[in-house]
């Protein structure tokens, strides 16, 4: 009996020691692995590009081993992955580098993204300020980057994110189809009062996608308040709805569009391929006599990274002119170029690197149109839940308007709830 | 001393794995949460900021709203569920032997999957739900019940419906331990129902009431799941609870606010339960 008791006790103590040692050991191994690896988190859509570029960086700069964590496109898998990543980040760990896409998704506002409001996240001590690193960058030439777009990644602490690509909503027409339109509308008021039927028909139909872009500012993230009142939101919704319902024109007007909605390389390619006739591009204006651009792809470094120099070295390589234009860095072997052919040129927007962006513009007329729109950009931000809320609000109001029991009070209630929702999002 | 250690040794050895688990998965992580709540951010980049996060949290409008709604929900829901469960338990005690199935039936709402509860709520109170179909027939206009101030009372209703059965079982178990002879003796002495309840039942039920309150509190916090599925991340302001605030800050990776809210919630619940437990202990000691 005594022997049995002794054996039991030894067994229990050994089990306890094993658990404790195992836990400590796992922690140590993980720490060692983390030191030797650079972890990059990106969307599945960009995984191949990031992987290829990271490999070239490793070879060229003799960098750390790289582990790519991609967020799946499938909503259920993405949710699980994002929760795992959030838990790691909250515990002070997480990936070293983030290369994340940002898109409005009006049909599914419950789509999970790692940073649902990148601008708010920039104020949350999550990203590493990059100014010192950029000043000492070996390859990145910030003079070749669109400074207006770059300002979207700045806070009072410095450059927190690097906007890689951006977009805005625009519609391209042949000037002849625009019957006496003297100039493209420069403000929201001019747009809704535009008397050209084709403009009203084509643009008002897309308000669901870009209504939030008509606001110059959405939020003041420092003070956690909205930049407009409930009354202003109500008025904007009513104007957009009235404009859509009362716009003249026919279904055939849609065929007159050369290219439409979110501007990216495809947009400019379509404009370039169209005939040589004069073209007019109408970018959706905001209420501050300009155009609001949205960042669609950005990079950032985790403030808690143990390898900040290596992390920035990777970004420095990826966002050099050589890599962004696809030309690549020459090596001793003329057939091999690091970063050649792998870039973010098919990102969901226009590249912030001006040299790379110019490559998609085929001819002088397109160049002229591009520069005209670019000069009118006066606001840049990131897609967030606020944009989704405004889109959903407009969609609900449109559905209410089209239903048999539509009332003004119902629409006012929808706007009120959307406004309260946005206030809550900011105040949290 | 050696004899005492020998006596307790096996017990301690059996309990140690559980304690290690609690330490590793609860105590140590909570200690880390407490530490992070005193820093500017988690991880190596954070700096010690003392109580700054707590002071900022007190000024946060959404945190104050969440606290107000949570406290209101508890102050209304807990007494109601205790009262309702106690009444049902007292009735059941008299009928328990004749209606054995009742005890099991009462637990059905508790074991119902959350999705089922949410679907039922939508069927009853949704825009085209049963309530909105009946009300126009009696001249009252339909309302968006789940998006209005009535949402709070609907949530209270869900909480009572879903969790009363469980509380009844706990209280009934306590009632069944009171010897019948005491009631018989009291009847002989001419005591009525109320006096029996006040002087025989109540003094012997404090521990059961305490545990029922504890589990009702846990179930009250679990109600967040139904509210979340009905109202989403940002429901009507009437049902915006502390868990919404914490969940949304987790999604926004705002660790400071999350950890401060967790610590304050822990302190409030511990102090509240501690005070009530101390009071119950004194009652029991007085009775002994």
Q: Which of residues 50-89 of B touch A (CB under 8 A)?
A: 60-62
Q: At the top level of CATH, which class does the domain B55-287 belong to?
A: mainly alpha
Cα separation, A66 vs A51, whole angstroms: 8
- The label of the residue with tokens 């407490």 reads B34
Q: What integer pLDDT is reported at residue A336 of this predicted model? A: 76
Nearest to A177 by CA among A261, A260, A252: A252
Predicted confidence (pLDDT) per residue in B144-161, tens digit: 888 888 899 999 999 999
Largest CA-CA distance found in chain A, in angstroms, rounded: 105
Cα separation, A33 vs A17, whole angstroms: 24
Chain A residue with minimum CA distance to B232: A110
Would the CB atoms of B16 and A16 count as touching at under 8 Å? yes
Nearest to B233 by CA among B252, B253, B259: B252
Establish if B147 touches chain A: CB-CB under 8 angstroms: yes
Q: What integer pLDDT is reported at residue A359 of this predicted model? A: 75
Length of chain A: 428
Beta strands A162-167; A291-301: pairing state: antiparallel
Nearest to A417 by CA among B240, B63, B120: B240
Buried b (16+ CB within 10 A) or exposed e, B106-126: beebbeeeeeebbebbeebbb
C-alpha dihedral sign at A134, A138, A143, A145: negative
SS3 call for B232: coil
Cα separation, B63 vs B206, whole angstroms: 34
Q: Which residue in the set B43, B250, B254 is minimally distant from A93, CB to CB? A: B43
Report the complex ipTM: 0.79
Q: Which residue in the set B24, B41, B251 is minimally distant from A303, CB to CB? A: B41
Instruction: Report the DSSP beta bridge partners of residue A302.
Output: A127
Angle at A310 between CA A305 and CA A312, to 5 degrees: 85
Establish if B253 touches chain A: CB-CB under 8 angstroms: yes
CA distances from A40 to A108, A311, A357, B248 (A): 26, 9, 25, 25
Establish if B45 touches chain A: CB-CB under 8 angstroms: yes
Establish if B247 touches chain A: CB-CB under 8 angstroms: no
* Tokens describing residue A57: 């960086």
Q: Distance between alpha carbon A377 and the CA centroid of its chain, in Å?
A: 16
Would the CB atoms of B40 and A12 count as touching at under 8 Å? no
Cα separation, B175 vs B168, whole angstroms: 10
Chain B residue with minimum CA distance to A417: B236
Chain A: which residues have CB within 8 Å of chain B? 9, 12, 15-16, 19-20, 23, 86, 89-93, 115-117, 120-121, 124-126, 128, 303-304, 306, 413, 417, 420-421, 424-425, 427-428
Q: What integer pLDDT is reported at residue B79 of this predicted model? A: 94
Cα separation, A103 vs A343, whole angstroms: 19
Nearest to A181 by CA among A199, A154, A156: A199
* Tokens describing residue B70: 């949570």
DSSP 8-state symbol, A284 = P
Q: What integer pLDDT is reported at residue A107 of this predicted model? A: 45
Q: What integer pLDDT is reported at residue A106 of this predicted model? A: 47
Chain B residue with minimum CA distance to A114: B251
Cα separation, B85 vs B208, whole angstroms: 12
Angle at A272 between CA A266 and CA A277, to 5 degrees: 140
Q: What integer pLDDT is reported at residue A342 of this predicted model? A: 62
**Looking at CA atoms only, how far is residue A307 from chain B in angstroms?**
12
Q: Which residue in the set A16, A117, A427 is minimally distant from B61, CB to CB? A: A427
| CA torsion angle A150 A156 A158 A160 (round to 10) | -70
Cα separation, A211 vs A20, whole angstroms: 57
Predicted confidence (pLDDT) per residue in B193-220, tens digit: 888 888 888 888 888 999 999 999 999 9
Show the low-confidence residues of chain B (pLDDT under 70): 1-4, 96-100, 285-288
* Tokens describing residue A283: 């970018």
Q: What integer pLDDT is reported at residue A5 of this predicted model? A: 78
Cα separation, B167 vs A203, whole angstroms: 59
CA distances from B114 to A20, B157, B214 (A): 37, 15, 21
CA distances from B173 to B169, B207, B214 (A): 6, 11, 15
Cβ(A297)–Cβ(A344) under 8 Å?
A: yes
Cβ(A132)–Cβ(A307) under 8 Å?
A: no
SS3 call for A44: helix
Q: What integer pLDDT is reported at residue A132 of this predicted model? A: 92
Instruction: Report the DSSP beta bridge partners of residue B130.
Output: none
Buried b (16+ CB within 10 A) or exposed e, A170-199: bbbbeeebbeebeebbebbeebbebebebb
Q: What integer pLDDT is reported at residue A16 of this predicted model? A: 64
Mean pLDDT (10-residue bins), chain A, 428 residues: 75 68 52 70 91 89 87 89 90 91 63 84 90 91 90 92 92 83 84 84 84 89 88 93 82 76 79 81 90 93 92 92 85 78 72 82 72 89 90 90 81 91 90
Residues of B with CB below 8 A from A115's CB? 253
For chain B, the domains span: 55-287
Predicted confidence (pLDDT) per residue in A166-192, tens digit: 999 899 888 888 877 778 888 888 888
* Tokens describing residue A240: 């957009």
Cβ(B175)–Cβ(B200) under 8 Å?
A: no
SS3 call for A288: coil
């Amino acid at each position: 009996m005594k022997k049995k008791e002794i054996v039991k006790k030894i067994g229990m103590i050994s089990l306890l020691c094993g658990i404790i040692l195992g836990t400590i050991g796992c922690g140590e191994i993980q720490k060692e692995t983390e030191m030797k690896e650079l972890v990059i988190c990106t969307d599945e859509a960009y995984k191949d590009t990031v992987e290829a570029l990271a490999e070239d960086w490793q070879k060229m700069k003799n960098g750390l081993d790289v582990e790519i964590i991609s967020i799946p496109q499938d909503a259920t898998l993405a949710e699980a992955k994002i929760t795992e990543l959030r838990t790691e980040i909250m515990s002070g760990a997480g990936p070293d580098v983030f290369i994340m896409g940002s898109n409005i998704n009006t049909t599914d506002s419950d789509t999970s993204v790692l940073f649902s409001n990148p601008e708010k996240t920039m104020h949350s001590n999550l990203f590493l300020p990059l100014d010192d690193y950029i000043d000492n960058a070996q390859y990145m030439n910030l003079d070749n980057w669109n400074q207006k777009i770059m300002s979207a990644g700045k806070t009072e602490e410095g450059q927190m994110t690097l906007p890689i690509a951006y977009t805005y909503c625009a519609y391209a027409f042949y000037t002849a189809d625009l019957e006496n339109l003297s100039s493209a509308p420069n403000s929201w008021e001019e747009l809704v009062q535009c008397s050209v039927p084709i403009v009203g028909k084509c643009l008002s139909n897309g308000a669901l996608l870009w209504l939030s872009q008509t606001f110059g500012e959405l939020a003041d993230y420092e003070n956690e308040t909205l930049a407009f009142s409930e009354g202003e939101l109500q008025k904007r919704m009513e104007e957009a709805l009235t404009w859509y319902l009362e716009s003249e024109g026919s279904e055939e007007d849609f065929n007159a569009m050369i290219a439409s909605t979110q501007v990216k390389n495809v947009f400019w390619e379509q404009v370039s391929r169209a005939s040589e006739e004069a073209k007019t591009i109408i970018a959706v204006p905001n209420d501050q006599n300009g155009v609001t651009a949205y960042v669609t792809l950005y990079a950032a470094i985790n403030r808690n990274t143990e390898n900040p120099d290596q992390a920035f070295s990777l970004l420095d390589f990826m966002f050099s002119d050589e890599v962004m234009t696809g030309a690549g860095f020459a090596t001793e072997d003329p057939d091999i170029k690091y970063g050649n052919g792998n870039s973010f040129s098919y990102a969901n927007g226009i590249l912030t690197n001006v040299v790379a962006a110019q490559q998609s513009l085929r001819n002088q007329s397109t160049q002229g149109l591009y520069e005209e729109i670019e000069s009118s950009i006066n606001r840049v931000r990131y897609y967030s839940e606020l944009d989704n809320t405004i889109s959903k609000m407009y969609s609900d109001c449109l559905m209410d308007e089209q239903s048999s029991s539509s009332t003004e009070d119902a629409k006012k209630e929808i706007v009120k709830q959307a406004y309260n929702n946005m206030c809550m999002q900011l105040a949290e | 001393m050696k004899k005492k250690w020998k006596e307790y040794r096996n017990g301690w050895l059996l309990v140690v794995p559980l304690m290690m688990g609690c330490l590793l998965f609860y105590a140590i992580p909570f200690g880390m949460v407490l530490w992070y709540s005193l820093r500017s951010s988690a991880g190596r980049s954070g700096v010690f900021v003392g109580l700054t996060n707590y002071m900022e949290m007190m000024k946060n409008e959404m945190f104050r709203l969440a606290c107000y709604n949570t406290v209101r929900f508890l102050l209304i829901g807990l007494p109601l569920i205790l009262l309702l469960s106690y009444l049902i338990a007292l009735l059941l005690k008299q009928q328990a032997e004749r209606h054995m199935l009742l005890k099991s039936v009462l637990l059905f709402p508790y074991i119902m999957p959350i999705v089922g509860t949410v679907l039922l709520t939508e069927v009853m109170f949704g825009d085209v739900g049963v309530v909105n179909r009946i009300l126009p027939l009696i001249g009252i206009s339909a309302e968006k019940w789940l998006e209005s101030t009535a949402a709070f009372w609907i949530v209270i209703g869900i909480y009572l419906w879903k969790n009363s059965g469980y509380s009844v079982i706990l209280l009934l178990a306590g009632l069944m331990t009171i010897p019948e002879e005491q009631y018989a003796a009291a009847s002989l002495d001419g005591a009525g129902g109320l006096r029996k309840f006040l002087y025989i039942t109540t003094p012997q039920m404090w521990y059961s009431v305490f545990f029922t309150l504890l589990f009702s509190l846990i179930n009250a916090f679990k109600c967040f799941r139904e509210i979340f599925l009905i109202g989403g991340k940002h429901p009507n302001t009437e049902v915006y609870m502390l868990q919404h605030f914490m969940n949304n800050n987790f999604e926004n990776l705002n660790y400071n606010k999350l950890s401060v809210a967790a610590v304050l919630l822990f302190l409030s619940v511990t102090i509240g339960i501690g005070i009530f437990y101390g009071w119950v202990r004194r009652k029991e000691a007085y009775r002994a």
